[in-house]
Amino acid sequence: MKITIIVDNEANQGLKKEWGFACFIESAERILFDTGASAEVISHNAKELGIEAKAIDKLVISHDHWDHTGGLNWVLQNKGLKVYILESFSSQLKQELGGLEVVEVEELGEISRDVYSTGPIESADKYRLYEQALLLKTEKGIVIITGCAHPGLERIIERAKQLGKVRAVIGGFHGFNRLEALRGLEVIVPCHCTQYKEKIMQTFADKVKPCKAGLTLEFR
Ligand SMILES: [Zn+2]
Ligand SMILES: [Zn+2]
């Protein structure tokens, strides 16, 4: 499976950066996970990276925050898109998806061959926000892709373990700080809203890949 970061707070030369996250997964199908904060940035970067909106089969939205849904208009040019959201998302967002096939994910389950949603995981803070993460099943274990990880990265990792051994974590880690939970992973890619990015990069220097728009990763 090939993973390409399309939008992140950092970017390779020639690509735009913004506070947001979007990632593209090529497996049996082509899956977009989140859309960044603006249609302008995702459309620019996708074009540079050779990714076309009309070639995307499925869209998964991690949670209903502007820095993950702001680029929706770019991908909504694709009228054949199948979209995976959560029941808790705003009616405004659901309206924007009108006319498309929309699935409200209720529990951990496969959404494409070897690609799973964790199902809704609730954040433990006062916001009670629900978020889903993607789990890719590969020969050597599970690759996790997170949006912001508001519910806590450890709880996402715990959920992922239901599918098998976790080998990699990619995406926003939010305020995650109990670094022991990452020990034994093969690849760690802290992106977007990771508060302790420096500390994670220093602790796991041989495992970390610096996240930026344009980064590609392959897992077998
Ligand atoms: Zn968020
Ligand atoms: Zn975010």
What pLDDT shows up at residue 124? 84
pLDDT value at 11 more than 90: yes
Q: What separation in Å is there between the alpha carbon of 89 and the centre of ligand 1?
A: 12
Distance CA 69, CA 67 (A): 6
Reported confidence tier of residue 210, pLDDT bands at 50, 70, 90: very high
Q: Shortest CA distance to 67 belongs to which of 131, 162, 3, 137? A: 131
Going from the Cα of 131 to the center of ligand 2, the distance in angstroms, rounded, reads 11
Which listed ligand is nearest to 194 at the C-alpha? 2
Question: What is the reported pLDDT for 131?
Answer: 98
Termini Cα distance of the chain: 6
Question: Which residues are CB-neighbours of 13 under 8 A, at least 6 positions away?
Answer: none
pLDDT-based confidence at residue 27 (cuts at 50, 70, 90): very high
How much is the pLDDT for 159? 97
pLDDT at 179: 95
Q: What is the pLDDT of residue 133?
A: 98
**Cβ neighbours around 213 below 10 Å, total:** 31
Per-residue pLDDT of 162-201, as tens digits, reads 999 999 999 999 999 999 999 999 999 999 999 999 999 9
Sorted by where each begins, the domain ranges of the chain are: 2-218
Each residue of 22-44: b (16+ CB within 10 Å) or e?
A: bbbbebeebbbbbbbbbbebbbb
* Cα 67 to ligand 1 centre (Å): 7
Q: Which band of pLDDT confidence, cut at 50, 70 and 90, is reported for residue 66? A: very high
**Span 38-48, pLDDT tens digits:** 999 999 999 99
- Distance (Å) from CA 147 to ligand 2 centroid: 6
Whole-number pLDDT of residue 177 = 93
Gap from CA of 68 to ligand 2 centroid (Å): 6
What is the C-alpha to C-alpha distance for residues 169 and 161, in angstroms, rounded to an integer?
12
Residue 126 is predicted with a pLDDT of 85
Among the bound ligands, the one closest to the CA of 19:
2
Give domain 2-218's CATH architecture. Answer: 4-Layer Sandwich (3.60)
Residue 80: CB atoms within 10 Å: 9
Distance from residue 192's CA to the centre of ligand 1 (Å): 10
Going by DSSP bridges, is the β-strand pair 115-117/121-122 parallel, antiparallel, or unpaired? unpaired
**Residue list, CB under 5 A from ion ligand 1:** 65, 148
Ligand 2 mean position to 46 CA, how many Å?
A: 19
Question: Confidence band (pLDDT; 50, 70, 90) for 95?
Answer: very high
Mean pLDDT on 153-157: 96
Expressed in angstroms and rounded, the spacing between residue 153 Cα and the centre of ligand 2 is 13
pLDDT at 109: 98
Q: What is the dihedral of CA 181, 149, 158, 219, to 10 degrees?
A: -80
Among the bound ligands, the one closest to the CA of 34: 2
Question: What pLDDT is stored for residue 113 in this prediction?
Answer: 98
107-145, pLDDT tens digit by residue? Answer: 999 999 999 999 999 998 888 999 999 999 999 999 999
Q: How far apart are CA 8 and CA 134, in angstroms?
A: 17
pTM for the predicted model, two decimal places: 0.97
Distance CA(97)–CA(213), nearest Å, equals 26
Predicted confidence (pLDDT) at residue 31 exceeds the cutoff of 90: yes
Nearest partner of 105 among 75, 128, 135, judged by Cα: 135
